[in-house]
Amino acid sequence: ALIAEQNGKSYVIKRQDGKRLTILNEEGVELFSNDFVGSSPVSVQYYDFGAGRVYISVTDLSQDISFIYNGKGNLLNTTPIEGSSIELKASKSDFPKTYVVDGNALIIQ
């Protein structure tokens, strides 16, 4: 599946088969692979805030946990972020502002 960047400037490719989720860039080069969420339905969001600030969020919809990767495929959060939905917004730091819905609560990190 093609996952368009939030502003439609570019995209990544989501490939999910068996127990593996793989994200590829526009050229088909693997950015990262994740065995942990591979067998569950996932939501993938792709963000490009400019100046090399590219992020990909992967949310396991059955466990309500999310992972954030940078544009090079490096995992940025060491523990999963718990919540049913996640949204990233640009910030002045190297890490985006993170909005997470957990039950009836909105958590801003």
One DSSP character per residue, 4-48 reads: EBTTSS-EEEEEEETTEEEEE-TTS-EEEEESSSTTS-EEEEEEE
Between CA 7 and CA 58 the distance in angstroms is: 18
- What's the pLDDT at 89? 92
**pLDDT tens string 1-16:** 999 998 888 999 999 8
**pLDDT tens string 46-95:** 999 988 899 999 998 989 999 999 999 999 988 999 998 899 998 887 78
> Hey, what are 77's tokens?
């959060």
- What's the pLDDT at 38? 60
- What's the pLDDT at 78? 85
Q: What is the pTM of this model?
A: 0.89
Of 103, 109, 65, give the one whose Cα is nearest residue 89. Answer: 109
